Amino acid sequence: MGKRSVTAITNSSGETGLTRSQQWHAVTASFLGWTLDAFDFFVVVFLVDTLAAQFHVSKSAIVWTLTATLATRPLGALIFGLLADRYGRRIPLMADVIFFSMIELACGFAPNYVTFLVLRALYGIGMGGEWGVGASLAMESAPQRWRGILSGMLQSGYSVGYLLAALVNGILQPSPHVADWHWRAMFWIGGVPALLALYIRTKVPESEAWKQHRAPTVREVLKAVAGGRYPVLVISAVPMALWAACLLQPALVSRLIPLPWIATMALLFTLIFLFLWLSSRQLAYLGLMMTLFMFLSHGTQDLYPDFLTTVHAMSSSTVSWIAVLYNIGAVAGAIVFGRMSEHVGRRRSIVLALALSASVLVFWAFGTSVLIVALSAFLMQAGVQGAWGIIPAHLNELSPGAARGLVPGMAYQLGILFAAPTNTIEYALRDWLGYRWALAAFEIITIVLLAVVVSLGPENKGLSFMREEFGESVAAPG
């Protein structure tokens, strides 16, 4: 077979089976879904002080709601990923967008902390489902030669969502001393994404790659991941559920497993990866890689506004505008390194992006002036999200065709499950090492480990998601 055309971006049908307009509608819908989902998550990051005052709890209790959101995300990836592989990408994506939008809207009406905590845990299910389904739809709709840059654009939606949250926070200026409706309005705005479902319904076509690889049953989807060992994969859900319970209700789990909390978490972590390794070494590797990626992103973003307020005594307005700046850097980094990955490869581009973040880490954590902090934060997030910008393409290229709705999202959310204590760990390290060293030490270790894991892993850049006339998906010849 001769060299395959990769000019679908300018061709009416092309390699994806979609017109140019349909391709862009699919990518746009996925980008907007992830952008608005990220906005809804980061609203809490900018309201830590305000919510603590409104609900009469400590700041650490509000930080814990972030952990609750992260802990429930794998459940969303499992539910909506299986639905996407069994019934198509469009309908599960619409259902997910409506679900997380309605939960976010309800957060604005929460009368007390317990209600708010439960809603944030439910929101995590919706957030967990969106990325995997949206990423598979976008990457299956994107031409091969544009996959890298479109991957960066898609993942930059996370940074754009953070940017929007920072802008809205800067405009509304919520604080413990203003009217109650200010913080509630931040969540009410989060209900707007429900309108995206209408756009998906009217403009976004179903993935042609999914139609070709469609599995007839859920069992067949699981077999595509783990073969005949899929029952072992199913069994791994038990220690995963216990791990999440340890994060949300540690006292309850201690009655079942009479060990210290740290020992229990270590035991469950070992069991989970043992089951994953026995059932699917690919999923085990991807889960490990994504755990480190989550340490990288959440470790540099979630508590940074609080770090700026606490250590540098910056005003809410200043913090918001610095957040705007470093998220512009994040968007630029995701697109630049995503494009670069088409030329130098996925793994090498990720390592180069990590090197950029490592080079400015000292200034990011130990800078003494607003200018140094702002510039180093810009470059830090350019590197962090530069590495992340390659992930949608990289994960989808490493996933089996019949489970491309499940595997990327599940690997992504397994990472977030294991990395869910990130904010709590860094907050605890602050009391031991000080805020500056807590962030710096955590990220130094993360960057080094992630660079090693990525370098030693596989890569399938250029993989075709469509079946060939006489076989399965193959990498396009150069």
Neighbours of 425 (CB within 10 A): 16
From CA 23, how far away is CA 318, in angstroms rounded? 39
- pLDDT confidence bin for 18, thresholds 50/70/90: low
From CA 403, how far away is CA 283, in angstroms rounded? 11
What integer is the mean pLDDT of 41-63?
85
Write down the pLDDT at residue 17: 61
Contact 393, 139 (CB under 8 A): yes
Is the pLDDT at 443 greater than 90? The verdict is yes
From CA 146, how far away is CA 462, in angstroms rounded? 10
17 compared with 325, residue with greater pLDDT: 325
What integer is the mean pLDDT of 441-463?
92
Write down the pLDDT at residue 476: 37
Q: DSSP for 39-90, please give it.
A: HHHHHHHTTHHHHHHHHT--HHHHHHHHHHHHHHHHHHHHHHHHHHHHH-SH
Q: Which residues pair with 69 in a beta bridge?
A: none
From CA 325, how far away is CA 354, in angstroms rounded? 19
What integer is the mean pLDDT of 342-352?
93
Contact 203, 243 (CB under 8 A): no
pTM: 0.82
From CA 370, how far away is CA 377, in angstroms rounded? 10
Domains of the chain: 16-196+216-456 (1.20.1250.20)
The closest of 357, 354, 362 to 378, measured between CA atoms, is 357
Is the pLDDT at 10 greater than 70? The verdict is no
From CA 280, how far away is CA 273, in angstroms rounded? 10
CA distances from 324 to 164, 168, 478 (A): 8, 11, 40
Write down the pLDDT at residue 470: 34
User: How confident is the model over 119-137, as pLDDT tens digits?
Assistant: 999 999 998 888 888 888 8
Contact 312, 428 (CB under 8 A): no
C-alpha distance across the termini of the chain, in Å: 12
Q: Which two tokens stand for residue 368?
A: 């003494």
The closest of 165, 148, 194, 133 to 462, measured between CA atoms, is 148
- pLDDT confidence bin for 207, thresholds 50/70/90: confident
Q: Could you give phi then psi for residue 388, rounded to 5 degrees?
A: -65, -30
Write down the pLDDT at residue 173: 64
Where residue 313 falls (left for φ over 0; alpha for ψ -120 to 50; beta otherwise) is left
Contact 392, 139 (CB under 8 A): yes
CA distances from 423 to 60, 109, 240, 471 (A): 9, 25, 19, 46
Is the pLDDT at 338 greater than 80? The verdict is yes
The closest of 159, 149, 147 to 335, measured between CA atoms, is 149
Is the pLDDT at 15 greater than 70? The verdict is no
- pLDDT confidence bin for 12, thresholds 50/70/90: very low
Is the pLDDT at 363 greater than 90? The verdict is yes
- Report the percentage of the chain scoring pLDDT > 90: 25
- pLDDT confidence bin for 291, thresholds 50/70/90: very high
Mean pLDDT comparison of 60-69, 417-426, 444-453, highest-scoring range? 444-453
- pLDDT confidence bin for 375, thresholds 50/70/90: very high
Q: Which residues pair with 463 in a beta bridge?
A: 475
Is residue 358 classed as helix, strand or coil in its secondary structure?
helix
361 compared with 229, residue with greater pLDDT: 361
What integer is the mean pLDDT of 173-199?
72
Write down the mean pLDDT value for the chain: 83
User: How confident is the model over 233-286, as pLDDT tens digits?
Assistant: 888 888 888 887 887 777 777 777 777 777 888 888 888 888 888 888 888 899
Write down the pLDDT at residue 120: 92
- pLDDT confidence bin for 9, thresholds 50/70/90: very low
Write down the pLDDT at residue 99: 92
Is the pLDDT at 425 greater than 90? The verdict is no
Is the pLDDT at 175 greater than 70? The verdict is no
Q: Could you give phi then psi for residue 399, rounded to 5 degrees?
A: -105, 145
Is the pLDDT at 402 greater than 50? The verdict is yes
Write down the pLDDT at residue 361: 94
Is the pLDDT at 16 greater than 70? The verdict is no
Write down the pLDDT at residue 377: 93
